[in-house]
Structure 1
Amino acid sequence: MTADIGDGGWHVGAQELRAYAGGGLVAPAVWSVDAHLAGCAVCRAALAGVVDPERVEAGWERLDAELDAPRAGWFEGLLVRAGVPDHTARLLAATPGLRGSWLGAVAGVLVMCVAVVTAAGSPGGSPTLFLALAPLLPLLGVALSYGPALDPTYEIAVVAPLHGFRLLMIRTVAVLGVGVALNGLATLALPGYGLSALAWLLPALALTGAGLALTPRLGPVVAPSVVGGGWVALLLVAKAVRESGGAPLAPFTAAGQGVCAVVAVAGAGVLFLLRDRFDRSAAVR
């Protein structure tokens, strides 16, 4: 390294100082200059004369931004380690429908339903209470995951560099996956009912698809409310016309399951056709 000899010993040369200030020095030269500057006021003063003030200010701004950046929680960190991009992991971690309070409430409702069905049901019967409530839980979770009325991070989410439809789908898939998983665990607690205990799955997909398809028109609160109210009304009508007390309600028969499958596919198709409205609709924005 070229150096100037001064009264106090050697000093870093002007060319090396300029390279150091511009980030052009490489190890081990940069280490040597670092160590020397720590104890040499003359070289520090010389360095101040060659450093661009705007570059220093930009460096401080980057440091402030790094120090002020929020630290990732355990869930966000787990998603990043699993390969999820940083910005997507942040959006998922901030999803209201994935919060501990919501998941705890869902788990509590499912436990209560399983306990009631187990206590009052019979191996040859139908877990009607569980089947009626289970499809509503994913719908409610999706409703909580998007929209200005219920999402406290809505303003941050809408300015993220993402298509509105993609943002909705990211959160919907996450919430729907968690809701279906919780329902599935509850179903395992009802082994006496066999495959009939899984009759909630297609209605859950149908209700979620219908609610999302109506969101551009009715908004993220009214749409799932209408769909959920329609489901409850359908169950009441099916119960009123049921011929015998032991027969399953219409939505949980083979024909009813087929209709639910058609509604789920139709809802997905309509949602795809209306995907651009999630960036323009005043109801969502």
Structure 2
Amino acid sequence: MRDVKSDGAAWHADAEDLRAYARGELEAPRLWSVDTHLAACAPCRQALAEAGDPLAVDLGWERLDAELDAPRPGPVEALLTRFGVADHIARLLAATPVLRASWLGAVMLVLAMTVASVYAMDSPTVFLALAPLLPLAGVALSYGPALDPTYEMTVVAPLHGFRLLMIRTVAVLVASLGLNGLATLALPLYGLHALSWLLPGLALTATGLALTARLGPVLAPALVSGVWVALLVVAEATVHGTPLPFTAPGQGVAAAVAVVSAVLLHRLRDRFDASPAHPLSTDFAHRSTS
């Protein structure tokens, strides 16, 4: 704001600024300065009334209220925006529940305890069994009205439902797989065997997403997790040594399941937009076929 001294006792807003304010053309931060000055200066309020109509003045106050009430981006959102991510996508990513510090801290604690148990039992089986479930759980907790506190915001986002699903899935996978990878570095004695959780993790996540189109975001990951745990229990009881999912044949099967599930997910992509009001709700399959 440019101020001019009209007399020896007071400073007043520039007439050009007042005219721009009355027309609704004055922008921040000068807009805020003029508003602050007007609140304490009767002569400038009188000059403003003479410079424009009352409706324009009211619109100016409404514009200021909108500026002050607008949510300020957090550090993650600001960082994403700086790297070129669109504003609405950055906000949706920053609001993803499992990318919050509480979730990431809990995952790190679980992984630390699992790594400690590996050294206590001298076997990586517990870690290999748990690590594939973390990406699946993270993706599952990122969608649906029952799990995502920002669900209403995602519903009105100007994005295809499948694209939104993939954007959040990639973000969750990067965070989850990154933490799993750091935990794997704490197990150098087991070499590449400590990385055999990776393909099962991708297979479980892809399968859970593919089944979400039919079963919803709660039942699908729960079913996939149950099958994984049952498979490990059977393998532990029938096979001595390394459980089958972490052997070379098991890794091949996991890779094949991941590819098939990814293809199926792509074919079902339109189902995630079948119901615009609740694209990922638990009764989504029923509405998409009715």
Q: TM-score range by the shorter chain?
A: 0.7 to 0.9
Q: For residue 217 of structure 2, give the secondary structure of its aligned residue in structure 1.
A: coil
The worse-fitting range, judged by mean Cα deviation, of 207-216 and 53-62 is: 53-62
The worse-fitting range, judged by mean Cα deviation, of 53-62 and 83-92 is: 53-62
Alignment partner, residue 267 of structure 2 = 273
1:183-198 equivalent positions in 2, closer than 5 A: 183-198=180-195
Alignment partner, residue 89 of structure 2 = 88
CA distance in 2, matches of 1:79, 1:284: 25
Alignment partner, residue 264 of structure 1 = 258
CA distance in 2, matches of 1:95, 1:84: 15
**68 and 251 in structure 1: CA distance in 2 versus 1, 3 angstrom threshold:** same
Residue 44 of structure 1: how far off its partner (Å): 6.0
Alignment partner, residue 200 of structure 2 = 203
**254 and 70 in structure 1: CA distance in 2 versus 1, 3 angstrom threshold:** same
Q: For residue 220 of structure 1, give the secondary structure of its aligned residue in structure 2.
A: helix
Matched pairs, number: 255
| Residue type at the aligned position of 2:63 | R
1:182-261 equivalent positions in 2, closer than 5 A: 182-242=179-239, 244=240, 246=241, 248-261=242-255
Residues 15-66 of structure 1 show CA distances to partners (whole Å, capped at 9, x for unaligned) of 99878844789xxxxxxxxxxx99894x864652452444333332222111
Alignment partner, residue 146 of structure 2 = 149
CA distance in 2, matches of 1:78, 1:15: 37
1:50-65 equivalent positions in 2, closer than 5 A: 51-65=52-66
Residue 110 of structure 1: how far off its partner (Å): 0.7
Residues 222-257 of structure 1 show CA distances to partners (whole Å, capped at 9, x for unaligned) of 110000001001111111220x2x3x1111111111
The unaligned stretches of length 5 or more in structure 2 are: 1-14, 27-37, 282-290
CA distance in 2, matches of 1:71, 1:16: 26
Cα root mean square deviation, aligned: 2.8
The worse-fitting range, judged by mean Cα deviation, of 272-281 and 55-64 is: 55-64
Alignment partner, residue 5 of structure 2 = none
TM-score between the two structures when normalised by the length of structure 1: 0.81
| Residue type at the aligned position of 1:236 | V
Alpha carbons 1:97, 1:145 under 8 Å: kept: yes
Q: For residue 140 of structure 2, give the secondary structure of its aligned residue in structure 1.
A: helix
Alpha carbons 1:217, 1:283 under 8 Å: kept: no
| Residue type at the aligned position of 2:265 | L
CA distance in 2, matches of 1:67, 1:213: 43
**24 and 95 in structure 1: CA distance in 2 versus 1, 3 angstrom threshold:** closer
Calculate percent identity across the aligned residue pairs.
70
Q: For residue 219 of structure 1, give the secondary structure of its aligned residue in structure 2.
A: helix
Residue 109 of structure 1: how far off its partner (Å): 1.1
Residue 81 of structure 1: how far off its partner (Å): 2.1
Residues 135-157 of structure 1 show CA distances to partners (whole Å, capped at 9, x for unaligned) of 00010000011111111111121
Residues 115-163 of structure 1 show CA distances to partners (whole Å, capped at 9, x for unaligned) of 1111221xxxx51110000000010000011111111111121111111
- 1:101 is the counterpart of 2:102: yes
| Residue type at the aligned position of 1:269 | V
Alpha carbons 2:24, 2:60 under 8 Å: kept: no
